Amino acid sequence: LQHFQAGSALAGLKLLITAGPTREALDPVRYLSNHSSGKMGYAIAEAALAAGAEVTLITGPVNITAPSQAQTIAVCSALEMHHAAMSQAPEHDIFIACAAVADYRPETVADNKIKKNDDGLVVKMIKNPDILADIANSDPRPFCVGFAAETQDVAHYAKGKLNRKNLDLIAANDVAKAGQGFNTDNNALTVFSKTQQFDIAFASKADVAKQLLNIIHQQYNK
């Protein structure tokens, strides 16, 4: 019978997850974005629900369906995602930042469709707020888990982000390796705490999500 019951390892815990890309408007019909599919964040949401957690999923625009038991907040831009995440964070025990948040946005959004007048177009970009760093430095703060998609010096850059953003854990992803990373069905992660390292071998995102949640849960309880 136990086999058929939902898991309960995460029962009583509230998880906040960001997922997917953000879209930064240039004018009423155009935006800048990235290739994030949302698959990893959604897989974590599914796995957390299956383990009995309460899940709030803040999602950028993606083509996959959110798990029905999650409280889902759909956003578009980094500023909208920042606003939603900051207001939700104090009510959650664990924050997992999976979203591929645009680092910059156009300084101004044109009121009308930009016309093709010149030979070139220069767009000034300004920095978006760092959602994960802002939550990790808030008080009260949830247990904070970041992702780091890197193409080189993975451990070095990931640990740099762990320390700079004041995180509890960071899951590093070597997106230069074939078949893992943006818009793929599989992944492999190396997870760093300030003192430890955990390797999650190449597997489906569903499987990787389960293993990552085990590590998060174990570290959260420390």
Query: Which residue numbers belong to the known binding site for CTP?
Result: 103, 113, 129-132, 147, 161, 165
State the nearest-atom distance from the C-beta of 103 to Ca ion, in Å: 4
Amino acid, single-letter form, for residue 23: R
Segment interacting with Ca ion, rule: CB under 5 A, options 65-73, 77-85, 103-111, 182-190: 103-111
Segment interacting with ligand CTP, rule: CB under 6 A, options 9-17, 26-34, 64-72, 145-153: 145-153
19 binds ligand CTP (CB under 6 A): no
Q: How many residues bind Ca ion (CB under 5 A)?
A: 1
125 binds Ca ion (CB under 5 A): no
146 binds ligand CTP (CB under 6 A): yes
- The DSSP H or E segment spanning 191 is strand 186-192
143 binds ligand CTP (CB under 6 A): no
Quote the CA–CA distance of 39 and 186 in Å, as a whole number.
9
Q: Are 127 and 98 in contact (CB under 8 A)?
A: no
Backbone angles phi, psi at 139, to 5 degrees: -150, 120
103 binds Ca ion (CB under 5 A): yes
Site for ligand CTP in 82-101 (CB under 6 A): 97, 99, 101
Quote the CA–CA distance of 61 and 64 in Å, as a whole number.
9
Tokens of 213: 């949640």
Q: Are 190 and 199 in contact (CB under 8 A)?
A: yes
Amino acid, single-letter form, for residue 159: K
User: Which residue, 103 or 153, is less far from Ca ion as judged by CB?
Assistant: 103
Closest of 186, 178, 183 to residue 206, by C-alpha:
186
Q: Are 82 and 128 in contact (CB under 8 A)?
A: yes
Segment interacting with ligand CTP, rule: CB under 6 A, options 34-42, 63-71, 124-132, 180-188: 124-132
Contact positions toward Ca ion, by CB under 5 A? 103
Contact positions toward ligand CTP, by CB under 6 A? 18, 78, 97, 99, 101, 103, 128, 130-132, 146-149, 161
